Every structure is written in structure tokens, then in C-alpha cells.
Amino acid sequence: MRKSIIFTLCWLASTAVAQQYTKEDELVLPPDYREWIFLSSGIGMTYSGSASQNPAFENVFVNPEAYRQFLKTGTWPDHTVMLLEIRLSESRVSINKDGRVQTTVRAIEAHVKDSARGGWAFYGFQNGADKGKIFPKTADCYSCHQQNGATDTTFVQFYPTLIETSKNKGTYKETGH
Amino acid sequence: MRKSIIFTLCWLASTAVAQQYTKEDELVLPPDYREWIFLSSGIGMTYSGSASQNPAFENVFVNPEAYRQFLKTGTWPDHTVMLLEIRLSESRVSINKDGRVQTTVRAIEAHVKDSARGGWAFYGFQNGADKGKIFPKTADCYSCHQQNGATDTTFVQFYPTLIETSKNKGTYKETGH
């Protein structure tokens, strides 16, 4: 009993600020997203085939309550917020001699599930802004995620700790090469 | 007042299993380390200069209470546990055409601060084991971290969200190229 009270309180504390909007319908950047659940990093990922000589890392975080629900159900609950943090990279930092390490943030985007606002939407935070503008529903990201997202329009195929759960729950869609 | 009770309860819940040992002095792999605070990922990092054609990602996580203490003090409290998760990478996964994404875990190592056991120690988890054996104090990792770790024998120079805090608190040591 005490454990469930603690869990409930933690749940309230951890989800309180996941999803807030301004009066202008901008998404407020969750100030604590770096304390959310890390899903994975890629580097230099591209869907067009044009490689970069100075590739960026892409870190993906999700709010803790959505992550726990996903582990139970294999899909994302309403009010899921996924944050894509794009960071520049360098190679020769301190004693590192090859490969790449992460440096400064170049851009942040959010993918938000909100049934009260018509389902999933993408937001972009420009130049360090702490409020993100919605991408129009005609933007490529919507159709690409719809077509190629393994699970519920999200790229679970790139999140190694979620793939098995999604497959076991029957929510995983194989996507082409 | 209510807020501080919630915080205390969350703190207890989040730190309860960070650091446990078996009777044989092995470190128990924290089952929830993927829900800890993500510090950064590198790819193909090497201190010897020999590059890999199939580089691995290195994700670093730290227990939440240690992270919060670091933000306040610029150093790691007793009972800090840092987890290094090394994952293999692939390039052409699903619709991805270049760069690299993370796949399966190849190895896990821990760096643990425990004053009751003589300070910092490294543990290695072999072949998917959930218990890690200590590296002998003569292993290279100890002298390398002692000499090159920017902060308290840890590689804060590779954790972009902690560098500024450490510099502001006067705990940051510049390390050579």
C-alpha cells in the first residue's frame, strides 16, 4: 500500500510538466527532459542517402510515464512526449583520438501525442527557444512517420530496448530497406 | 512541505537499488539503469588511436540522486554508480541509409564510488551477466581515470550537460590532447 502511494506520488511528480502549451499553442520545452528516459542515440542518420562529413548525434528521450505504459502495452499512451535532441559532434576532445563525442545542441524537436489536439504532432524549437512551433500537418515528417514508423508512427525500430516489447505485444510493423 | 515529502519519497524510491553487492563482493547490475539519467553517448571512442571499422556506441548513465547532487556541488557523492553500456552499431536499418544506429549490448561496465570500500572502483559484467566482478586496482582504467578524468576521476569532459556545472563549481580539470 505504502509502495503504491509512493509510486503514485512519483508518477504525479514525474508527469506534471511533460506537456504544456502557451496561449499561442506553442509547446513549452520540458525543462527536465534530460532527466527523462533515454531511448537511443544515432549518429549521422539520413533517410535521403546524403552522408555528412561532420555528423550530428540524435538523442531521443521520452517522459517516464509514457515509457512505463509502453512497456506494459507496446504502444504510446495519450500525452506521450518524445524529445529529439540533435547535438554536434567532435573527434579529438581531451584524450580521445578517434570516433566522435557529443558537444553542443544544434536543434530540438518534439513528437507529441495529444488526442485533444488531433493526435500526434511535431514541434520545432528554433535557435535555443524554450517554446516550439507546430510543424504543419503537410510536412514530410508526418507522412514519413506514418509510413515508416514501426510502432504507432514512432521509430521504435531504432530504440533497441523497446523493439522486443513491441513485437511481443503485436504492435510492431516491419519497415522496408 | 508536501512537495518535500514527495521529493524525499521519490529520492528513496529512485536510490534504493543503485548499489548492491553479493556475498562474493560482486556488484549487482541495477535492473533499472536504463531509467537512470543519461549523460552522453560516444561512438568509436579510443584513447589508443586505432580506429574501428564497425564502431560501438558507448552510453553512460548515472543514478538520479548522484546526478542531482552533482548539479548542486560539481562533484559526485558517495554511492554514485555510473554505468557504461557498450552497444554494437549498424547503418542500413529500416529506412536509414547512412550514419549508424544502436543495436545489441556488447558489454557493460560500472564505476562506483563507495567510501566503505576504498573509494572509486570499476566492475565488469561479462557476457550478459547480472553481477559484475571488480577490476583489480592495478588495471589501466584506474590510472587513466585518475590522470585524465576532468572531475573526480570521471570523464565529465565527455558529458556536455555537466561541463559547465563542474567549471562553475571549480572542480573541472583541463585534460591534454
Q: Give me the amino acid identity at A21.
A: Y
Residue A110 lies in a domain: yes
Cell 535492473 -> residue: B31
Closest chain B C-alpha to A24 CA, distance in angstroms: 30
Residues of chain B contacting residue A12, judged by C-beta atoms under 8 Å apart: 6
Cell 528554433 -> residue: A126
Residue B116 lies in a domain: yes
Select the more confidently predicted residue: B19 or B58.
Answer: B58
Closest chain B C-alpha to A37 CA, distance in angstroms: 5
Answer whether A125 touches B (CB < 8 Å).
Answer: no
Q: Report the C-alpha gap between A161 and B49 in whole angstroms.
A: 31
Which candidate from B34, B41, B49 shows the least CB-CB separation from A161? B34
**Mean pLDDT of all residues belonging to chain B:** 90
**What ipTM was reported for this prediction?**
0.89
Please say if the pLDDT value at position B1 is more than 60.
no
What is the structure's pLDDT at A18? 74
Q: A64 near A37, Cβ under 8 Å? A: yes
Residue A177 lies in a domain: no
Q: Which residue of B has its CA nearest to A147?
A: B95
Report the interhelical angle of A2-15 vs A64-73 (nearest 10°). 120
Residue A89 lies in a domain: yes
Average pLDDT value for residue range B141-167: 97
Radius of gyration for the alpha carbons in chain A, expressed in angstroms and rounded: 17
Q: How confident is the model at residue B4 (pLDDT cuts 50, 70, 90)?
A: low
Q: Report the C-alpha gap between A42 and B91 in whole angstroms.
A: 10
What is the structure's pLDDT at B175? 84
Q: How confident is the model at residue B10 (pLDDT cuts 50, 70, 90)?
A: low
Report the interhelical angle of A2-15 vs B2-15 (nearest 10°). 110
Written as nine digits, the cell of A71 is 512497456
Average pLDDT value for residue range B80-103: 93
Host domain of residue B67: 22-137
What is the structure's pLDDT at B98? 85
Residue B79 makes CB contacts below 8 A (sequence gap 6+) with B15, B18, B19, B63, B65, B66, B113, B114
Residue A13 lies in a domain: yes
Residue A134 φ/ψ region, left for φ over 0, alpha for ψ in the -120 to 50 degree band, beta for the rest: beta
Closest chain A C-alpha to B25 CA, distance in angstroms: 29
Q: How confident is the model at residue B3 (pLDDT cuts 50, 70, 90)?
A: low
What is the structure's pLDDT at B95? 85
Q: Report the C-alpha gap between B134 and B131 in whole angstroms.
A: 10
Residue B63 lies in a domain: yes
Averaged over successive runs of 10 residues, the pLDDT of chain A (177 residues) comes to 55 62 97 97 85 88 97 97 96 88 96 96 94 97 96 97 98 84
Angle in degrees, CA B133, B34, A70, rounded to 5: 145
- Work out how many domains chain B is built from and give that number: 1
Interface of A with B in 20-39 (CB under 8 A): 34-35, 37-38
DSSP of chain B: -HHHHHHHHHHHHHHTTSS-B-TTSPEEPPTTGGGSEEEEEEEEEESS----SSPPEEEEEE-HHHHHHHHHHSSPPTT-EEEEEEEEEES--TT--EEEEEEEEEEEEEEEEEGGGTEEEEEEE-TT-SEEEEPPTTSHHHHHHHHH-SBTTB-GGG-TTTHHHHHHTT-------
Q: Report the C-alpha gap between B162 and A84 in whole angstroms.
A: 19
CATH number at residue A58: 3.50.70.20
Written as nine digits, the cell of A158 is 531504432
Interchain CB distance below 8 Å, A99 and B55:
yes
What is the structure's pLDDT at B6? 57
The three-state secondary structure class of A67 is helix
Residue A174 lies in a domain: no
Interchain CB distance below 8 Å, B41 and A37:
no
The three-state secondary structure class of A17 is coil
Select the more confidently predicted residue: B153 or A13.
Answer: B153
Residue A39 lies in a domain: yes
Residues of chain A contacting residue B158, judged by C-beta atoms under 8 Å apart: 93-94, 96, 101-102
